[in-house]
Amino acid sequence: MQKQVEYEGAVRTKYPEQVVIAIAKDKDGKANPVTLGWTMIVSGKPPMMAIAVASRHYSIETIRHSKCFTIAFPSAEMADMALFFGSRSGRDFDKLANCDCKTEPAKAIDSVLLCDAVANFECELESETAAGDHIIFVGKVVSSHTNTEPKKRLYTVAPGHKLGSAS
Amino acid sequence: MQKQVEYEGAVRTKYPEQVVIAIAKDKDGKANPVTLGWTMIVSGKPPMMAIAVASRHYSIETIRHSKCFTIAFPSAEMADMALFFGSRSGRDFDKLANCDCKTEPAKAIDSVLLCDAVANFECELESETAAGDHIIFVGKVVSSHTNTEPKKRLYTVAPGHKLGSAS
């Protein structure tokens, strides 16, 4: 049976919620990673993925500048890194230079891949749509990569940015 | 270490993937449910959610007609129903009349809620954006409901529409 409640209460039923790390280079060539829970696949042929990024975030500028971005699926071991990327702004700070995160150049776009991620998807920017306090960016996947080791994906498993594997 | 692979291989690392059931009424007043894995929250204030619906699906017509839709989080017990809603077209078929699915009227929009779902979100259509072979609909959440009993959300846990709880 359903009971009408405030949105904030109802949305707490969403967990586990997938986590991705989106990465785009800014005008100075600095690759800027941001951790996002609001993401989905949006097309099969051609493959496309979407992310929703808070309007005030520096990542908006980097994606608009690059017109491309990486979507990495972090592994469960990358929880601390995902929290770090999600809690600092890259506006005046080089997140990748200040943590122990191995990267390698992307193959088809001007971005980087996260070496320890479960998978990386290189996306060319297709569209952006304003939606409330976020902007939805849609990217066409032009190159895909997986880890050579089997890894579990990272999820938000409970409120308060509690991260872990989903199973 | 990353290895470049086909997209189809890389995207198999996405599981578990959340499942929602979106419901909109068609021009004859028939509420039409469709099961979707491609969905995300897109805004906090005001709360908004997005779904990606295959361009050829009847649901496109129903959402455009109603300009509103319900997003239900099905419970793990609703796996068979979710498969049924996802495998039949509502174009010439009344899915809700042909299954044992309890519904109740939505409160703020002209749609229905699924009584046994974990939660239901009533959404007013805000925008639509074409993305490859799908259309992204963004809805503003105007009313929210949760189940009076604790329930686990339903996820796709492996390829081939294998559904279950994520933990």
| pLDDT tens column, B91-148 | 999 999 999 999 999 999 999 999 999 999 999 999 999 999 999 999 999 999 999 9
The full 3-state SS of A141-158, as one line of letters, equals EEEEEEECCCCCECEEEE
Residues present in chain B in total: 167
Residue A163 has pLDDT above 90, yes or no: yes
Rg (CA), chain A: 16
**DSSP conformational letter for A14:** -
Those of residues 17-56 in B touching chain A at CB distance below 8 A are 17-18, 37-48, 50, 52
Rg (CA), chain B: 16
Q: Coil, strand, or helix at residue B41? A: strand
Query: Do the beta carbons of residue A163 and residue A19 sit within 8 Å?
Result: yes
pLDDT for position A167: 73
pLDDT in tens, A56-93: 999 999 999 999 999 999 999 999 999 999 999 999 99
Q: How many CA atoms lie within 13 A of B55 on its CB side?
A: 10
Closest by Cα among B50, B33, B133 to B93: B33
HEC per residue, A89-108: CCCCCCCHHHCCCCEEECCC
Q: Give me the mean pLDDT over the A39-44 stretch.
A: 98
* pLDDT for residue B167: 73
Residue type (1 letter), A31: A
Q: Does A150 touch chain B (CB under 8 A)?
A: no
The alpha carbon dihedral of A85, A90, A93, A95 has a sign of positive
Contact A144, A119 (CB under 8 A): yes
pLDDT greater than 80 at residue B76: yes
**Could you tell me whether strands A103-105 and A68-73 are parallel, antiparallel, or unpaired per DSSP bridges?**
unpaired
Among candidate residues A74, A30, A23, the one with its CA nearest the CA of residue A51? A23
- Window 54-93 of A: residues touching B by CB (8 A cutoff) are 73
Distance (Å) from the alpha carbon of A16 to chain B's nearest alpha carbon? 7
Tell how far CA B146 is from the center of its chain: 16
> B112 to chain A, minimum CA–CA distance in Å?
11
Do A41 and B45 lie within an 8 Å CB cutoff? no
* Dist CA A42 CA A40 (whole Å): 6
| Predicted confidence band of residue A34 (pLDDT cuts 50, 70, 90) | very high
Among A19, A40, A107, A127, the strongest candidate for a mutation testing the B interface, having the largest count of B CBs within 10 A, is A40
State the nearest Cα–Cα gap between A55 and chain B, in angstroms: 10
